Amino acid sequence: MRKFRCAGDIIFDDVDITPGQICNVKLKPHSETCNFLQYLNPLTPEKPYFFAQIRTLAPNSKITLGIAGPDIASDAHPGNWIDSVGYHSDTGQCYTSHQSVANTEGEKFGIGDVFGVLVTYFGEKRSTVIFLKNGSPVATRFLFEPNHSRYLPTISLENGPIDLGLMWPEAAMGVPTYSEKNMLHWIRPVSVNYDVLSNMFIYNGKDKITGELIIQSPHPLSLEIQHFEVIIQEAGNDCPGPSISLATCSPLVPSPSSTLSQDYIRFDLDFDVQHHLLGQRIGWGIHYNPETRNLPDFNPKAEQLVYCYVTANLDIISGKMMMQPEGGFYPLVLLKEGASKVTIDVESNPKPLLTHQMDNQFKKELAAAKKILQDDLRERVVKESMLRKTDSVEVTITDQFTTLRLPADKPGIHTVQLKKPLTENSNFFLIRVRQLSEDSGIGVGVASHEFPLNKYPGKTRPSVGWTSKDGKMYRNTRHDGNLSGERYQVGDIIGVEMEAFAKEMSVALFTKNFRPVGTAYYTQTNLNEFLPTISLCANGYEVIVEVFWQNMMRGAPLFSVVDLQHWCLPPGSVVDRATNTVHVKDHSTPVSIQAPYSLHKGYNHFEVQLTKNFGPDCPPPAVVLSTATPLDPPPNSCLKLDFLRFWAVNEASALVQVGDLVGWGLLYIDESIHHDEEQLVICYLTVNRKILLVRVVYQPPGGFYPLVVLPPELNEVTLEFSATIIRQHPITSQDVAILVKEARELMRKENEILKRGGDPTSELGGSAWFRSLPSAEAAEKNGIQKDTSGHLKETVKDGRVEKSAKTNKMATTLTDPARKGKKLKQAQSKKAAEGDHKSSRSCTVL
């Protein structure tokens, strides 16, 4: 019987494993591709651990250690595959089922390090894994594979030479021990140190803290430690103190549909009590069901209802019943600028003092919590009668997902469509590709109930879809646009989100492995016809997908417009997050990067920094406002455009130089109209945050998307995210009145031309409608603030999009209206009109 599965240039000891035995694993020099080794005996509760000693590692080498099933492709990294988990040596990033977002950032590991993988809890639906560097925890993740026999130790190696000493599970003597009582074992960023003498976690970075720094317990709360506290050591005028939270070991994927099933619960202090906070204690705790917690077989890590509560100096100030996911809730502490040091205490008050009162509170809320779960279960129901499909597709429905199977001997395309439409509140579904050959095909998208069941979505009108075989995104049979798309295959997770609902047409956003790939219009006006549609083509090979319909999860992945890894990028692109630079592969035709969301009232400006010398033979990037895809039919108006572009070539090259910031911004004229709808807006071009030109146009349905086009020979572009919300600008109400009046006059001329059968776009032209601000022209005419360079002296003032450490975390609110001095602060939703940058649906906090 085989003990190992191996692919590539790995040389290893293929022997029977005995306790204490170190096996040699080596990658040959100059072996650049992904090389794969998997131990075919699974991890078990008795043998849950394996580790590697790093002996040799080239500067550009990469090791991935993790857990995967036997069907993972030999060219895949564990973690970058369905139901697998893996940790990368070169970046410190950790992935589970393609998802890298979690509570904490990892650390790189290299020569001399010992790096281990430990399953800490074997659950029914999912398990928990902790990664250890030299015995200290550095990351926790869910492993979403329910079948424990598929927990195979797996490594991948790139860019030799690499030399490892592996201790497989049977060889590892014992299991590493670590404790939440030892503060040195808490998982923290490299910029945060624990000072033993002062018993404080202290930020030691040189720069100010931007966002939040998260410290996580290595263990979840348990029967022994049901409550933890933070002693506030710093608070300032702009920050009342640290935040505390309870979180799962990593985000739940997909997000559960129930309001009680959360993976992140947070408590924030109010600003009005900041002067009295130093030395005060705040804490989180959980209370187990009094009817079950004393039973002999009680499992504190099992999925169960628990009462989560907040304490202030041991007074319980708020609480709510929650469904604890398998693995439990982990304590988190969030440091911020002005709250950069903190003491964590898990030993002084590990259990609630008012047990009897807490028991009564649990019993009081239990019935209402069960009703919420029952109502959610009814909403999640999917029956085969709810599916419109061809007879050839075999359907298996569970309480988690729907499996679609097309046998190999069924020719042609076969479609399954859910009769329940996508809505603004339930706008996303996804599939996991379990079986797909290179000759087979899958199409996912949105269509009406009249869609033919022998077509791919997007190949008929009206419909929109994305196909696996050519990787193209189709709408109404067309596939032209700014973004080329990319292929998907077995092991991938594919999502379809109706990102914008507008009256005339809406926008679909396609995702692959929880990153955006591209957008396309869905030209359907009837909201009842936004039906999830999946088409399968076997072509001689079995096709299997698992479908999570929109009623079986809470919502779509959340992307940050200030994180370039969340933009739509060409395949193979690499992002340098430190400099906000995208590096793309060599290309003979122009390629584009696009923001996942359009500009709107809470994200109204973007800009590119020109970092490379440019000229006639090496042009710079083009900075563009673009529709989701080209309008069909093409608009016959100078006010309705597919894109607005600034490209510093020819005469325009004199307006900018290397180092300049070039951007586009939007000003909404009518605040009563939703920012996804078609409406008149003022677009303005900025250079170094000075308004250079303005133009009134009709914003298309779904909005204008920030787009950057890289011509051939240009392989990188840098964006700047410190001015994404412009709240103050030099555009006066008089400017707006003049510009709108000119636009109305243009409409009148266009109507006259159309009446006599002419073409307004050719007769009136487009470039002439760019102009300076009327107020700036008047000032320059009067000799005020004259700028001989042609730039205006009017400078926009920026408001930065706030980065959220919980880019795609769910959260809940704990409220107690009777508690004096505690104000409820609620983060705005993605569709809020003001301050909504779509970078995160951050949690509601107390």
Amino acid found at 90: D
Residue the block writes with tokens 């996911």: 325
Q: Which DSSP symbol is given to 273?
A: G
CA-CA distance, 220 to 209, in Å (whole number)? Answer: 27
Which pLDDT score, from 0 to 100, does residue 275 have?
57
Q: Which tokens is 516 given? A: 């955006």
Among 323, 431, 430, smallest CA distance to 377 is for 323
* Same domain for 309 and 394: no
User: Which portions of the chain are predicted below pLDDT 70?
Assistant: 271-276, 766-768, 783-846
Residue 172, domain member (yes or no) = no
Which pLDDT score, from 0 to 100, does residue 273 have?
56
* Same domain for 775 and 667: yes
* Same domain for 618 and 594: yes
Which pLDDT score, from 0 to 100, does residue 778 have?
80
Which pLDDT score, from 0 to 100, does residue 786 have?
43
DSSP assignment of 54-119: EEEE-TT-EEEEEEE-TTS-TTS-TTSSTT-EEEETTT--EEETTB---SS------TT-EEEEEE
Count the domains in the chain: 4
* Same domain for 724 and 602: yes
* Same domain for 403 and 330: no
* Same domain for 302 and 449: no
- Give bridge partners of residue 707 from the DSSP assignment: 594, 624
* Same domain for 693 and 621: yes
CATH number at residue 439: 2.60.120.920
Residue 29, domain member (yes or no) = yes
Contact call for residues 140 and 15 (beta carbons, < 8 A): no
DSSP assignment of 298-328: --TTSSEEEEEEEEETTEEEEEEEEEEPTT-
Residue 239, domain member (yes or no) = yes
Residue 558, domain member (yes or no) = no
* Same domain for 244 and 124: no
Contact call for residues 491 and 433 (beta carbons, < 8 A): yes
* Same domain for 740 and 592: yes
CA-CA distance, 118 to 132, in Å (whole number)? Answer: 8
* Same domain for 573 and 548: no
Q: Which of 167, 198, 214 is the last residue of a domain?
A: 167
Q: Which of 142, 167, 192 is the last residue of a domain?
A: 167
Among 49, 2, 4, smallest CA distance to 24 is for 4
CA-CA distance, 386 to 252, in Å (whole number)? Answer: 26
Which pLDDT score, from 0 to 100, does residue 762 have?
85
Residue 197, domain member (yes or no) = yes
* Same domain for 571 and 527: no
Q: Which DSSP symbol is given to 552?
A: G
Which pLDDT score, from 0 to 100, does residue 277 have?
83
Range of the domain at 397: 384-552
SS3 content of the chain, % helix, strand, coil (to 5): 10, 35, 55
Residue 328, domain member (yes or no) = yes
Q: Which of 774, 798, 822 is the last residue of a domain?
A: 798
Query: pTM for the complete prediction?
Result: 0.91
Among 26, 28, 27, 23, smallest CA distance to 3 is for 23
How far, rounded to the nearest angstrom, does the alpha carbon of residue 478 sit from its chain's CA centroid? Answer: 28
Which pLDDT score, from 0 to 100, does residue 764 have?
84
* Same domain for 365 and 484: no
Residue 73, domain member (yes or no) = yes
Q: Which tokens is 479 given? A: 């596939």
Residue 838, domain member (yes or no) = no
* Start-end of H helices in 298-405: 355-379
Based on the number of CB atoms within 10 Å of its own CB, is 575 exposed (0-12), middle (13-18) or buried (19 or more)? middle
CA-CA distance, 744 to 696, in Å (whole number)? Answer: 10
